[in-house]
Structure 1
Amino acid sequence: MKRAVLFDLDGVLVDSRSAQLATLAGFATSTLGRRVRVADLPAGAETTPREHVLAELGLSGAINEEAWDAATATATLTTGLFPFVAETLAALRAADIATSIVTLRGRQRVPWLLPPGVLDLMDTVVCFEDAAPKPAPDGILLALERLGVEPGNAVFVGDMESDMHAARAAGVTAVGAGWGFAGPRALARAGAELVLPHAEDFAGALLLLVGTGRQTGYSKRS
């Protein structure tokens, strides 16, 4: 029986909150021709669709993707992996569990956030161009198809309500990363079967969920 753990990227594997805000502020500064600081962004900007944030700042019309890429590339220089990521991925590989990223990031932008060594530990990566975005289940189902894994043998770890909705629609176990953008309460309300408030023994919790029998201190809907 083949098993898999799928991950969202931002807020789950990569600590990118500051970079998200810096991208918005840098793009707005360049496009509007006036200084826009992170402090000038509306509350919750890091989890709000960029079009809405930019419209509130006074920018209307289509987004120039080349300019957005430039702002993103600069801002993501400040991002880093959460400290548990490499250890967790190595443990999953040692247990012969397939792994994938399912992200709203475009394919070009993923390597800006992840070093080659981490990307090499992923069996597949599903990006914005590959499938309808979450909360649609399409990206998760595509990853499972590529991996040859049935939904009942898979876990998806996300940090947003849309991640939980997508996981449940795909028929995989929905795990909330409480250290990410939305927070534990929002993830529980969105239907997470398990919410991890922190990443202590993250690998152990995932190994238990995908059926290896390794015990952890976590319980359903903790």
Structure 2
Amino acid sequence: MPVRARRYELVVFDLDGTLVDSFDFFVQAHNRLAPKHRLRPIAPHEAAAWRHCPPREIMALVGLARWRLPWVARDFVRLMRDTGGGLRLFPGTDQALRHLHAQGLRLAVVSSNSTDNCRRLLGPELCQRMACIDGGASLFGKRTRLQRVLRRLHVPPHQAIYVGDQLTDADAARAAGLAFGAVSWGYGAPSALARAHPQWWFNAVEELSWLAGSGIPRDAAMLRG
């Protein structure tokens, strides 16, 4: 029997790896920037295995000190702006977002990508459905951006969820008092994200629409609480 499980007024999404299929671009951009920033390149056979590693471990493997992260992130954002014209939303993402919006949920994006890149990748129609798009967050600084979005939209933390694909997203959600929903198709592998004990699991893009609370099977694997 289906249950109604709508719990949230606001659904906040990460962008890269959650809404936008950009992992391959990330690996290519990293290797392009590696000589400039004296980083170790990512070999093709390593990319899939590194999805099981938390971001801090990946930074250590490539030789990226945390204090240098803003400069590398700036160049990554610039490369996406200049050469990322082929990037697309994961198939079905636009339909899921439209469904959530039509059901009365407020939608937002908090991303380490730039606001301009977020808007370009989402497109004008989906941007109109977003209550807030907050880009340019540090990889480890999304907590303050989430809190800023909550204040701007006057939503208490317990009525919001952050949907993302990395352990840093889970840490930011927990620190800001939001629930966390983990997607299985992003940068972080499900086995890595399991360490964060997400309240929600999404194994397919169309399952995002279940956040509206209609037609969720009682035994749905993605629903943890």
Q: TM-score, normalised by structure 1?
A: 0.76
The amino acid that maps onto 2:92 is F
Q: Quick one: distance in 2 between partners of 1:72 and 1:138?
A: 24
How far off its partner does 1:104 sit? 1.0
1:159 aligns with 2:165: yes
- Of 87, 98, 119, 2:106 maps to 98
Taking the TM superposition and a 5 Å limit, the aligned residue runs for 1:14-29 are 14-28=20-34
The amino acid that maps onto 2:158 is G
Taking the TM superposition and a 5 Å limit, the aligned residue runs for 1:2-81 are 3-28=9-34, 31=36, 39=43, 43=47, 44=50, 48=55, 55=63, 63=71, 68-81=76-89
Q: Extract unaligned runs of 5+ from structure 2.
A: 1-6
Please say which of residues 172-181 and 135-144 is displaced more in the overlay. 135-144
Contact 1:2 1:148 in 2 (8 A): no
Q: Quick one: distance in 2 between partners of 1:37 and 1:64?
A: 14
Please say which of residues 5-14 and 98-107 is displaced more in the overlay. 98-107
How far off its partner does 1:2 sit? 8.0
CA deviation digits over 1:48-98, x for unaligned, max 9?
579757647xxx999478755553334422311011211111112212211
SS at match of 2:197: coil
Contact 2:11 2:107 in 1 (8 A): yes
More contact order relative to length (CA 8 Å, sep ≥ 6): 2
Q: Quick one: distance in 1 between partners of 2:72 and 2:96?
A: 37
Mark the CA change 1:128 to 1:117 in structure 2 (over 3 Å): closer, same or farther. same
Match of 2:209 in 1: 203
- Of 179, 187, 191, 1:185 maps to 191
Match of 2:224 in 1: 221
Contact 2:20 2:88 in 1 (8 A): yes
1:124 aligns with 2:132: yes
Question: Aligned pair count?
Answer: 208
The amino acid that maps onto 2:216 is T
Contact 2:96 2:205 in 1 (8 A): no
Mark the CA change 1:112 to 1:55 in structure 2 (over 3 Å): closer, same or farther. farther
Q: Quick one: distance in 1 between partners of 2:178 and 2:74?
A: 36
Q: Name the % identity.
A: 25
Contact 1:25 1:38 in 2 (8 A): yes
How far off its partner does 1:13 sit? 0.3
Match of 1:211 in 2: none
Mark the CA change 1:216 to 1:136 in structure 2 (over 3 Å): closer, same or farther. same
Moved over 6 A (4+): none
Root-mean-square deviation (Å)? 3.5
- Of 151, 154, 162, 1:148 maps to 154
Contact 1:20 1:75 in 2 (8 A): no
CA deviation digits over 1:91-132, x for unaligned, max 9?
122122111001111234323433222222211011225xx6
- Of 92, 114, 120, 1:84 maps to 92
Mark the CA change 1:38 to 1:122 in structure 2 (over 3 Å): closer, same or farther. same
Q: Quick one: distance in 1 between partners of 2:167 and 2:120?
A: 25
